[in-house]
Structure 1
Amino acid sequence: MAIVAQQTNFSRIFWPTVAWVVALIFFFPIFWMVFTSFKTDADAVKPEHLLFFTPTLENYANMTQNYDYWRFATNSVVTSVFATAFTLFVGVPAAYAMAFNPSRHTKDILMWMLSTKMLPAAAVLYPMTFLTKNFLGIFDTHFLIILVLSLINLPIVIWMLFTYFKEIPKEIIEASKMDGVSTWGEIKDILIPLAWGGVASTALLCFIFCWNEAYWTVRLTTTDAATLSKLIEGNRAPEGLFFGRLSAVSTAAVGPIVVLGWFCQKQLVQGLTFGAVK
């Protein structure tokens, strides 16, 4: 009994300590970014001012007054919200069809969709830029960014929703069909209410992925549809990186999504673990 009690006490101390250490390791880059945002560009690169310096809000004032932060933030919100809505608009019916009306090619289609995530983005950058600039005329528009973000996240959204929809008994859908409910009625009145937790967590993850997307939003925009990723990239110059201003802009960019993730962590964990436990 003493050995068991000793092991239990050791586990109660050891594993929480490991968890705190891992959490601090992951949190430290965010802390240091926020910490550096209160330094001037000169102090940010001086070793003697690594920890001790005079805090300043100059970087934040410069960001709002000279860099038009709110315009970039508005573009990020608009593109992320509409891309998430469009992705769900397409993904929910697609996942419904694959979950409740599967064919012998359903698994192949799911694997094909997932394989598109393995394509290097740089491989299609030039043709995408060339077509959108010279033929379609939609370069640097909200429509283009929304479309690209939707297509990027659609495979993941369909996979998550498909996994969650498979957990719903087919008898419920079959009973609604016998009652004469239309396909749209099944999705709107039966499937979504039953799977609301899964749909909400999927939408949250999709929104985070859209907000954090940097490769395409930087390369397919210049001014009109530029998001916060473009604003962050703009703090790079031939002289080097302006670490103080860069940290302030990065803090303002990741702050909203970090707060959202903190308050919705339960839904995030649920969305990432769909179908993991049977």
Structure 2
Amino acid sequence: MSEFAREEIKSSRYSEKIYINGFSWQIQAQIEKKNGNTENNEKCLGFYLLYDGPKEDSNWRCCVHSATFRIVSATKGAENSTGTLADRVFDNKSTNLGFENFISVTELMEPNNGFYNKSENKVTLAIDVTVKDAKMEKLILYQCISKGAFFTENEKVSEFAREIFWSQRISETVHIKGFSWKILAQIRKNLLGTDNNEKCLGFRLLCDAPKEAKNCSFECSATFRIVSQKNDVPDFKDEFNDQLLNNKLNWKSFHSISFDELMEEENGFYNREDDKVTLAIDVTVKEAKT
């Protein structure tokens, strides 16, 4: 590992392949330059999941329901460093997913952090993958929706709050008149405050428009709600009206709230007993144009 850490930017190492449903999966570790670092060439570990799909059909798709990336602790009792990505689709143009700057090499190699086994000169990477559909699938043209409401209960919020930036959780799909909609919760940086390392909850709406619907567009209104857990506390709301949604803008909009504010029991949004926060979105879509 110490030799790999000294290699040039974009140097990579790969795990052995494993096979799920007949197709191969592989971990890639890559030396990356730290994003936004203009003063020096500080190195970070890029951590990726690779999927080798069938070459004979350009329409194949494989949906990963969730992938939890872990740097396994080498110290007994210490926590793993984790990041989660949810509901990602592999196809012939997108065959990998992961984190470009998962952890700095300096932080990774610091023995006190518990990830680097100095006596064996090694670091252990692992990815827990749940595959929703690992088969070739023809894309179909969906009809546009009219109106719907749905919610997701994000459990083990305290664990989610400790994950790295850009980690995600995603709701089950809601189908209304052919279109699929989901809620995405994501750990984001606070870009409006003075502390850019403060973790905030990114709260988004995803409309899964198929590739064939490249000319489809429609006006959409949505009310984002963090559902109150107390009778005397109203829901936390943010509204977006008459926003244009098309195949180039899958993510509707989001409202960020700091995890400190979200998990403060007096605010009424966090259920400490169940370690749960409930997110909801009410959606109205006007007539679509294709």
Q: Give the TM-score range, shorter chain.
A: under 0.3
**The structure with more helix, counted as a fraction of residues:** 1
Query: TM-score normalized by structure 2?
Result: 0.24
Larger Rg: 1
**The structure with more strand, counted as a fraction of residues:** 2
